[in-house]
């Protein structure tokens, strides 16, 4: 695996996704509530130039993430990709001609430092790209789909704040699954070229991607980014890393002290992400 390509592509993916999320939430918050959890919501948003700009960046982010996962494991790529607002907030501050606050600067330092700490003790990735069988995937697919259906049902009957959180958790689970399927599909295409289209992974990507898009936009529509983004930005990489360990047989740290360093790094990064997601710059 080429770690340098994976890290650079993941960083560019994070930058694109951070700005995309902000643009999409600003547009989705203006959509009618009756369109929540419906494909019609996406069709309505597709007529809004701001949302289309965000969607273009989101597609670019996904393509870059696919490139990163083709050259690196989930346990390496996903923590790096979770640094989206480390790039997005300074760009927004520059665009609005305002200074970053001490809290925002602390969030950037904690996020970047926590991710660096997590990756420092990560064992080297094995050569090649594992392609799990459907038998390996089945427990994960059933668990995530079941959880998302339950979360969506609970969200429909909840108040706005709870609905935003429940939809965001469901979207994060789907995005974690999407990231993992992206790695599997990228492995297929690297090994078989267009022959990968004869397998189920590329088509599952489309279904999970559309479902995740609808659920995330429903979360953006239901309430503030201060609720939805911290959940998506923390649960998505954590879920993808766990899937990497469970399905792809990827490895976390191999000793007790190294696991403690990774746990501390992950906690520091999560704290930084929450600080960044609660910044006024992340809100319409």
pLDDT of residue 284: 58
Per 3-state DSSP, the chain is made up of helix, strand and coil in percentages (nearest 5) of 80, 0, 20
- Contact (Cβ atoms closer than 8 angstroms) between residue 144 and residue 177: yes
Residue 171 has what pLDDT?
Answer: 95
HEC-encoded secondary structure of 22-85: HHHHHHHCCCCHHHCCCHHHHHHHCCCHHHHHHHHHHHHHHHHHHHHHHHCCHHHHHHHHCCHH
pLDDT in tens, 163-191: 999 999 999 999 999 999 998 988 888 88
Give 33: exposed, middle or buried? Use CB within 10 Å, 0-12, 13-18, 19+: exposed
Query: What are the Cα distances from residue 254, in Å, to 75, 124, 174, 246?
Result: 13, 11, 28, 16
Low-confidence ranges of the chain (pLDDT < 70): 1, 25-26, 29-39, 125-130, 282-284
Encode pLDDT of 252-269 as tens digits: 887 889 889 999 999 999
Predicted TM-score (pTM) of this structure: 0.82
Q: What is the pLDDT of residue 29?
A: 67
Dist CA 76 CA 248 (whole Å): 13
The pLDDT of residue 37 is: 62
What does pLDDT average to over the chain? 85
């Amino acid at each position: 695996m080429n770690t340098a390509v994976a890290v650079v592509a993941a960083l560019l993916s994070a930058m694109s996704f951070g700005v995309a999320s902000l643009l999409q939430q600003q547009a989705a918050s203006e959509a009618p509530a009756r369109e929540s959890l419906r494909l019609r919501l996406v069709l309505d948003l597709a007529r809004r130039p701001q949302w289309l700009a965000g969607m273009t960046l989101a597609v670019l982010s996904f393509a870059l993430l696919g490139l990163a996962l083709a050259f690196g494991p989930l346990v390496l790529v996903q923590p790096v990709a979770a640094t989206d607002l480390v790039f997005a907030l300074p760009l927004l501050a520059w665009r609005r001609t305002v200074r970053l606050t001490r809290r925002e600067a602390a969030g950037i330092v904690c996020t970047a430092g926590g991710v660096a700490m997590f990756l420092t003790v990560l064992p080297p990735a094995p050569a090649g790209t594992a392609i799990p069988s459907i038998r390996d995937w089945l427990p994960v697919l059933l668990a995530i789909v079941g959880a998302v259906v339950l979360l969506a049902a609970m969200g429909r009957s909840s108040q706005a704040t709870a609905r935003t959180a429940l939809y965001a958790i469901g979207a994060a689970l789907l995005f974690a699954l999407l990231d993992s399927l992206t790695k599997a599909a990228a492995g297929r295409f690297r090994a078989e070229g267009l022959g990968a289209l004869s397998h189920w992974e590329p088509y599952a990507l489309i279904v999970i991607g559309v479902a995740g898009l609808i659920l995330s936009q429903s979360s953006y529509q239901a309430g503030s980014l201060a609720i939805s983004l911290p959940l998506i930005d923390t649960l998505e990489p954590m879920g993808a890393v766990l899937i990497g360990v469970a399905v792809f047989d990827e490895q976390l740290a191999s000793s007790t002290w190294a696991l403690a360093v990774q746990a501390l790094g992950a906690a520091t990064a999560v704290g930084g992400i929450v600080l960044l997601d609660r910044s006024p710059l992340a809100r319409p």
